[in-house]
Structure 1
Amino acid sequence: MRVPESWLRSFVSPDWTSDEIADRLTMAGLEVEEASPAAPPFSGVVVAEVRKVERHPNADKLSVCEVDAGDGTLRTIVCGAPNVAAGMRVPCAVPGAVLPGNFVIKPVRMRGVESAGMLCSARELGLSEDHSGLLALAPDAPIGAGIRDWLKLDDTVFTLKLTPNLAHCMSVFGVARELAALSGAELQTPEHPPVAPAIVDKLPVKISAADLCGRFSGRVIRGVNAGAPTPDWMRLRLERAGQRSISALVDISNYVMLELGRPSHVFDLDKIHGGLDVRWARKGETLELLNGQTVQLDADVGVIADEKAVESLAGIMGGEATAVSDDTRNIYVEAAFWWPAAVAGRSRRYNFATDAGARFERGVDPATTVEHIEYLTRLILDVCGGQAGPIDDQVTRLPERAPVSLRTARARKIIGVDMADSTLTDAFARLGLPARLQGDRIVVTPPSWRFDLQIEEDLIEEVARIWGYDRLPQRPPRAPAALMAWPEARRTVSRLKRTVAARDYQEVINYSFVESGLDAQLGLAPEGSSAIRLLNPIAAQMDRMRTTLWGSLVENLRANLNRKAGRVRLFEVGRVFFADPAVPAGPAQVHGIAQPRRLGLLAFGPAVDEHWSAAPRAADFFDMKGDLEALAGEGLTVEAAEHPALHPGRSARVLLEGRPVGWIGEMHPAHQQALELPQAPVLAEIELDPLLAAKVPVYREVSKFPPAIRDLAVVVPIDIPAARVLGEIASAIASVPAAALVKNVRIFDEYRGKGLENKEKSLAFRLWMQDTARTLSDADAADAVQGIVGWLADRIGARLRG
């Protein structure tokens, strides 16, 4: 939110500099992100009057102007602006002037005509993006006066970043109220005397949904001049607050919203059919909004409708059908109190946001609708003329403000300062919060504009803000912080991340909210569970809690590919979410919501960076499998299985100590094509907790005798995976006494073809045998090999290859 200092000081003007105001507001919780002048630095620009305009003799789109810049002589300036005219007063950069961007003005010859200066647009002075013509100044602007002084361009504009609980500060007056409380300076509270009705016209209004609208105020104004220009002072304040001037009626509505935090709406009265009905939308109704978007309405969306159609989204945006234009002569002005829960999230559902919706969903003062209608009316009559009717004010139900108690002893303990009771009550008085001391408690009744004061901690925060966060003492924690020994058999998540990063992966951190379409394609919910859809997503493309880490990793991949990255290796450690009724409530979990932690990996592009010593090849299934084995150790195996997101012939289930813990494989070709990826990335997702188990080192005596090495080739059915054969060899080593001498086994060859049946294959293994007490004989090695061959023959029908 942008707040011009001059506008702010019209309500409260403490004896502080701009920097001091920014610092104190920040220390009170109203973070000032930036404090900058209304215009960037420039010099040498003065108010000038165009005396005469003639067409350039050598250019159709240029004009030759005689300009009085207040130095006693007329200068000739060539100008290309379409709106230049004799008699207008404009900014003139004289030779030697320096414009934003360090652009120095010098006398130049343009198409044969000498030009001694430059007439400026708003964009050339850095005031706005408007470059359609010269910046027209007021007719009474003094010729020769500096533009910076005349337009007050050194006025500081504060850019505030407000937290959601500070709804009462979403206006210039709201910030002024806080500044007055902080500084003790007098607050000039605006007064809005009633406008006497000149006509008796009223528009029939019915409130059919009390849970949508608690109060609705409005009045008819006839005979307005909608084409009247917006006053310069109002347009200037709007522009410095970041609001573009549109038309007088719209500008007045926006001005009151920015100044007092009161969103309102102006209807073209002649376009309303019958009266207005404030109600919930009906399924299937549509509305064309002021931004040109046509939305399909749901039954939980509030609307203002007439007898024929819906005319406005309640508290968010008006409709195009009843929008005011330059032809408008009769209007209806409304100001209402919409329940925050009835507005929250509705605009994001339609993929846009409005200033009015941002205020109403946080809470707008319901007690001031009538006086703000009076203020709107006065501004409209002063600028556009017309005759106003009586105000129609309907109240259905307003928020109740229950008193909140503050224990003085607890406030002192939490804040960490031994404050007197009078200091506590003074903080509330400065904020305009009615408070009374009752024994060891202070009871505060929140005013109508404070929706955030509900519990004791809210009051403690208010005291700390007014006291000043920068004044709070810095003390070391008093609680003992004994270091606990970390179990050797378990590694930390950070240690696991460092291990993954050492495998040439980069960590990413993504939102837990994802787009439902991609997540549904890539995710596989466990049996008996389902995905969780969000009722109030922060954005339309984040409408679901993720069920897999792959969706976010793939989006990260696409973003990198769009920026010409050729090799991408990413990992993320995070939670996925499922609706599972079997999950009980607990200290770190919510009933019915499963939140397992996962490790997700993605590899795309070359397996290694381009180098002369290695032939280029794409990362594949086995590269990823090797990375997982490096993370999990020997207990990790894979078995062929199909996953809807993975290539049917290049995917596998990951097992750890025989238990399924995740998936690995290349992306399914259909998904690759739909996502327009040049090649399929390799993906893996593993449960995190099993990976945190670490093997504790166990001492084994190292043999000083040389090993006996033998190669063993066995023929097995073609459908038996090599991993199973390796598992059976390990079982033989553990079960057959003669085979216990085998210390290590590695597969090094697979053969299919001549000499074997069509449904057979040959697997070759290398065996290392060793004893710590003696050198092994050939007979010992032969007995060990024979024991393994016999075991394989009994278990899987293997035979020794001849």
Structure 2
Amino acid sequence: MKFSENWLRELVEIRADRAALAHALTMAGLEVEELTPLGDGLAGVVVAEIVGAEKHPQADRLQVCKVNAGQGEPLQIVCGAPNARVGIKVPLAKIGAELPGGISIKAAKLRGVESSGMLCSAKELGIDTDASGLLELPADAPVGQPLADYLGLPDASIELKLTPNRPDCLGLFGLAHDVAALFGSTVKLPVQATVPVTGPSRRGIRLEAGKDAPRYLGRIVEGIDPAARTPLWLAERLRRAGLRPISAVVDVTNYVMLELGQPLHAFDNDTLEGDIVVRHARVGELLKLLDGSEAKLDEGFVLIADEHKALAVAGVMGGYDSRVTDVTRNVFLESAHFAPAAIMGRARKLGLHTDASHRFERGVDPELPSRALERATELLLAIAGGHAGPVLVAESPADLPLPVPVALRRTRLKRVLGVDVADAEVGRIFTALGMRVEETADGWRITAPSSRFDIEREEDLIEEVARIFGYDNIPTATPAGALTLAIEPEARIGELALREQLAARDYYEAVNLSFVAADLLASWGFTERLVHLANPLSADLAVMRPSLLPGLIEALRHNRARQQERVRLFELARVFGAGDPPVETPSLAIVACGSALAEQWGEPSRELDFHDLKGDLDTLVAWGGEPQRWSVHADGLPGWLHPGRGARVARDGVTVGYLGALHPQLARALDLGADVHVLELALEPLLVRRLPQARAVPRFPAVRRDIAVDLPESVSWSQIEQTVRRTLGEGLKELRLFDRYSGKGVEAGRKSLAMGLILQDASRTLTDDDADRCVREAIAALEQSCKAKLRG
């Protein structure tokens, strides 16, 4: 929000200088982002008229001008501005003047011709950035008057960085209430008179967008003068607010938006056909906008249309074909209330950001449209003439927001702020802010005006008291209170401990955005159950991530592009799936590439492989104390994993994640340039820990029996382990795989595995017969379940 300091001071008495005003606004939560003084040091600059102009005898681009400065004989001034011509009125810096920027005006000779002053551009005067030519003043500007007096200078352009919850301060009238509360003064808002109806023209209005557009007002003004020039006072206020004056109609709508905070739009009434229809856009509907771009719309957009065509994207921008031009004599003024949710994100979806959308998506006072329409009509008639038709109103009262009273307790206010604020001061603050105050037994009942969308609960009212009373007036005190220490459950591993374990295994933690691009997910094959954002930050951040791996791999690519060959990253975060509401699942993901070990001399260099990551998984699983409940399988792999170097991870037979190398096609598509191994697991199963239980040291010795079996290559070790453990039960204390062989003596497609069975009974010493029976049972189970054969 950018505005003129002088304009604000007209609306409210401010007993403070510019610096104090800026400080007070910032401390009240209305941060002054930029303050630009305008027109300081213009003593000696007056309004002048060029009464003669001839070409300089020694320079093609210079003119010798005769200038009437209101002091007798015309002055001779050499000027190089392209728009210098007879009849225009411009600023003249007389000899002795000191312009902003340290320019001193002295008598001089330019190419042999004497010059007694300088004709100035707006930039040279420090009141604008335009340096394309002389600042042209209106034809009725009084010659000889000091320019500062004529332009209402000095002034300052103040730009506020407003938070999204304060849309009421996007208009000077709303901001004036805050300033009045800060300085203990009153707002001097003009009373808005009703413009008399002098024209008969009217047009029907139909609301078909439901709660998205519950109020729409319009008015036809006929017979305006399209050549009418915006008065200087209005043009200067626009300029100091960062808006360039364009035409009387456009300038009036912009001025009312700045003054009241209500965006308006003007259509060329002669281009409209039939009734105005406020409706939702149809899928694929196209509209050429004011800036010449073509908007492709969907059902989420609200449109202003007539009986035959679309006219404007509601709350964002008008259409090109119905715009006001230099020959427009009849206009249709629009003033409406649109629900913030209906406008939010629509401008960004079209690649736009407009003053109207900036206000509507934050919330505009639903009571403003009528006042804004009357004010705009009043100004337009005064500037360009014409005849105003009746105000046309269409509204759905049931869909309009209603102010709700909020209770504020005196004890709660003191407890939160830590300071006593007098009842009279509390009442003054809320009254100055335009709120209705009712005293109750334990405090106040406050009803905020319809412009204050942010007042919803007691804490909002306490914030209002704090910022107006002044944070500097609230003493700093150490908080006091009893803290309850949380008890960490023993049956659960903390996430911090998991992070520390991964860091100890040479991984770095990464933190990525929860949003990713849809096309990136498509390359991974994630196309189902996606959560799409209605209001994405950008097209590349339009979908909630269904997996941590795409973001982690992008981080890995970023590191590899910066000469990091060995990259090891992990992330603990949530992934999202479609549902009502969307399903959030805490997950752990690991990505790694490059050498298995950091560069050193003790071990030969080798590339990271599947078993390295499997070892990291085993370490994490071991923390739970029940590694036998975990298994890996070669079936059921997703498309992004290498079919021969990947595994499905299960706990108690339920799939909880995947492990292995990325599929070569995906690696090429992502331009990884190296083998990348990944692991992703649901986090919750990893955090479950079996409580340790004390047991007596076994009194009886263990017995070991070694067996070697011949079985198909496709049978995994996890299948063998589960089969043997299921068969022998608690009598099997440990199963150790100590050899794998394939080659001579073993059929093609088969392998030989040698394992040790550690057997033990808590109540007696096992005999050879007991051990032999266990071996026979294990072999029989392996023959039946795994197609194994005992090797001699």
Query: What's the TM-score once normalised by structure 2's chain length?
Result: 0.76
Map 1:185-584 to 2 at 5 A: 185-208=185-208, 211-226=211-226, 230-231=230-231, 233-282=233-282, 285-299=285-299, 301-397=301-397, 398-487=400-489, 490-516=492-518, 518-519=520-521, 522=524, 530-534=529-533, 542-556=541-555, 569-579=568-578
For residues 505-561 of structure 1, what are the alpha-carbon distances to aligned partners after superposition, in whole Å with 9 as ceiling and x for unaligned?
A: 443434444444544664779xxx944445555655555443222343345456667
For residues 586-622 of structure 1, what are the alpha-carbon distances to aligned partners after superposition, in whole Å with 9 as ceiling and x for unaligned?
A: xxxxx86532211123335666778899998765544
Task: Please state how far the C-alpha of 1:718 moved relative to its aligned partner.
Answer: 1.9
Assess, with a 3 A threshold, how the Cα gap between structure 1 residues 35 and 280 changes in structure 2: closer, same or farther: closer
For residues 44-63 of structure 1, what are the alpha-carbon distances to aligned partners after superposition, in whole Å with 9 as ceiling and x for unaligned?
A: 999999996869999xxx83
Task: Please state how far the C-alpha of 1:651 moved relative to its aligned partner.
Answer: 2.5
Assess, with a 3 A threshold, how the Cα gap between structure 1 residues 627 and 130 changes in structure 2: closer, same or farther: farther
Map 1:392-791 to 2 at 5 A: 392-397=392-397, 398-487=400-489, 490-516=492-518, 518-519=520-521, 522=524, 530-534=529-533, 542-556=541-555, 569-579=568-578, 593-603=582-592, 620-633=609-622, 635=627, 638-641=632-635, 642-655=637-650, 660-672=655-667, 674-675=669-670, 677-678=672-673, 681-693=676-688, 716-722=711-717, 752-762=742-752
How far apart in 2 are the matches of 1:284 and 1:424? Answer: 53
5+ residue gaps in structure 1? 581-590, 703-708, 772-782
How far apart in 1 are the matches of 2:325 and 2:353? Answer: 23
For residues 106-157 of structure 1, what are the alpha-carbon distances to aligned partners after superposition, in whole Å with 9 as ceiling and x for unaligned?
A: xxxx99x9x99999987899987867x3463547699999999989687252
Assess, with a 3 A threshold, how the Cα gap between structure 1 residues 726 and 68 changes in structure 2: closer, same or farther: farther
How far apart in 2 are the matches of 1:149 and 1:632? Answer: 81
How far apart in 1 are the matches of 2:57 and 2:513? Answer: 60
Task: Please state how far the C-alpha of 1:264 moved relative to its aligned partner.
Answer: 0.5
Task: Please state how far the C-alpha of 1:474 moved relative to its aligned partner.
Answer: 4.2
Task: Please state how far the C-alpha of 1:404 moved relative to its aligned partner.
Answer: 3.6
Task: Please state how far the C-alpha of 1:263 moved relative to its aligned partner.
Answer: 0.6
Assess, with a 3 A threshold, how the Cα gap between structure 1 residues 762 and 36 changes in structure 2: closer, same or farther: farther
**2:700: which partner in 1?**
none
How far apart in 1 are the matches of 2:683 and 2:693? Answer: 24
Given that 2:164 and 2:362 are in contact with CA atoms closer than 8 Å, whether structure 1 keeps it comes out as no
How far apart in 2 are the matches of 1:117 and 1:553? Answer: 66
2:33 counterpart of 1:5:
no
Look up the equivalent residue of 1:720 and give its one-letter code.
V
Look up the equivalent residue of 1:500 and give its one-letter code.
L
Look up the equivalent residue of 2:439 and give its one-letter code.
L
How far apart in 1 are the matches of 2:482 and 2:379? Answer: 63
For residues 4-25 of structure 1, what are the alpha-carbon distances to aligned partners after superposition, in whole Å with 9 as ceiling and x for unaligned?
A: 4333323224223444334433
Moved more, 307-316 or 716-725: 716-725
Given that 2:492 and 2:688 are in contact with CA atoms closer than 8 Å, whether structure 1 keeps it comes out as yes
Q: What's the secondary structure of 1:577's corresponding residue?
A: strand
How far apart in 1 are the matches of 2:421 and 2:288? Answer: 56
How far apart in 2 are the matches of 1:350 and 1:342? Answer: 14
Q: What's the secondary structure of 1:366's corresponding residue?
A: coil
How far apart in 2 are the matches of 1:29 and 1:544? Answer: 33
Moved more, 282-291 or 268-277: 282-291
How far apart in 1 are the matches of 2:289 and 2:209? Answer: 22
Q: What's the secondary structure of 1:436's corresponding residue?
A: strand
Assess, with a 3 A threshold, how the Cα gap between structure 1 residues 615 and 784 changes in structure 2: closer, same or farther: same
How far apart in 2 are the matches of 1:677 and 1:716? Answer: 37
2:135 counterpart of 1:136:
yes
For residues 327-375 of structure 1, what are the alpha-carbon distances to aligned partners after superposition, in whole Å with 9 as ceiling and x for unaligned?
A: 3222111212234454445445545443323323443233333332232
Look up the equivalent residue of 2:640 and give its one-letter code.
A
For residues 650-696 of structure 1, what are the alpha-carbon distances to aligned partners after superposition, in whole Å with 9 as ceiling and x for unaligned?
A: 32222457653211233444544555555564332212223335688
How far apart in 2 are the matches of 1:412 and 1:83? Answer: 65
Task: Please state how far the C-alpha of 1:84 moved relative to its aligned partner.
Answer: 6.6
5+ residue gaps in structure 2? 698-703, 761-769
Given that 1:501 and 1:507 are in contact with CA atoms closer than 8 Å, whether structure 2 keeps it comes out as yes
Assess, with a 3 A threshold, how the Cα gap between structure 1 residues 622 and 353 changes in structure 2: closer, same or farther: farther
How far apart in 2 are the matches of 1:153 and 1:627? Answer: 70
Given that 1:601 and 1:684 are in contact with CA atoms closer than 8 Å, whether structure 2 keeps it comes out as yes
Given that 2:438 and 2:446 are in contact with CA atoms closer than 8 Å, whether structure 1 keeps it comes out as yes
Given that 2:228 and 2:383 are in contact with CA atoms closer than 8 Å, whether structure 1 keeps it comes out as yes
Q: What's the secondary structure of 1:685's corresponding residue?
A: strand
Map 1:165-180 to 2 at 5 A: 166-180=166-180
Look up the equivalent residue of 1:274 and give its one-letter code.
G
Look up the equivalent residue of 1:14 and give its one-letter code.
I
Look up the equivalent residue of 2:632 and give its one-letter code.
V
Given that 2:218 and 2:334 are in contact with CA atoms closer than 8 Å, whether structure 1 keeps it comes out as yes
Task: Please state how far the C-alpha of 1:34 moved relative to its aligned partner.
Answer: 2.1
Assess, with a 3 A threshold, how the Cα gap between structure 1 residues 373 and 557 changes in structure 2: closer, same or farther: farther
For residues 258-317 of structure 1, what are the alpha-carbon distances to aligned partners after superposition, in whole Å with 9 as ceiling and x for unaligned?
A: 221011100011111233233444556433232434344445543222121121223332
For residues 709-734 of structure 1, what are the alpha-carbon distances to aligned partners after superposition, in whole Å with 9 as ceiling and x for unaligned?
A: 99998754322335556778999999
How far apart in 2 are the matches of 1:251 and 1:370? Answer: 19
Moved more, 302-311 or 474-483: 474-483
Task: Please state how far the C-alpha of 1:178 moved relative to its aligned partner.
Answer: 0.8
Task: Please state how far the C-alpha of 1:575 moved relative to its aligned partner.
Answer: 1.7
- In the alignment of these two chains, the number of paired residues is 750
Task: Please state how far the C-alpha of 1:488 moved relative to its aligned partner.
Answer: 5.4
For residues 570-598 of structure 1, what are the alpha-carbon distances to aligned partners after superposition, in whole Å with 9 as ceiling and x for unaligned?
A: 43222223356xxxxxxxxxx86532211
Task: Please state how far the C-alpha of 1:423 moved relative to its aligned partner.
Answer: 3.5
How far apart in 2 are the matches of 1:41 and 1:682? Answer: 66
Task: Please state how far the C-alpha of 1:797 moved relative to its aligned partner.
Answer: 6.6
How far apart in 1 are the matches of 2:103 and 2:713? Answer: 78
Look up the equivalent residue of 1:371 and give its one-letter code.
R
How far apart in 2 are the matches of 1:264 and 1:37? Answer: 28
Given that 2:39 and 2:126 are in contact with CA atoms closer than 8 Å, whether structure 1 keeps it comes out as yes
Q: Identity percentage over the alignment?
A: 37
**2:765: which partner in 1?**
none
Given that 1:56 and 1:63 are in contact with CA atoms closer than 8 Å, whether structure 2 keeps it comes out as no
Q: What's the secondary structure of 2:379's corresponding residue?
A: helix
How far apart in 2 are the matches of 1:396 and 1:233? Answer: 38
Assess, with a 3 A threshold, how the Cα gap between structure 1 residues 315 and 258 changes in structure 2: closer, same or farther: same
How far apart in 2 are the matches of 1:143 and 1:492? Answer: 80
Given that 2:3 and 2:237 are in contact with CA atoms closer than 8 Å, whether structure 1 keeps it comes out as no
**1:34: which partner in 2?**
33
How far apart in 2 are the matches of 1:785 and 1:123? Answer: 102
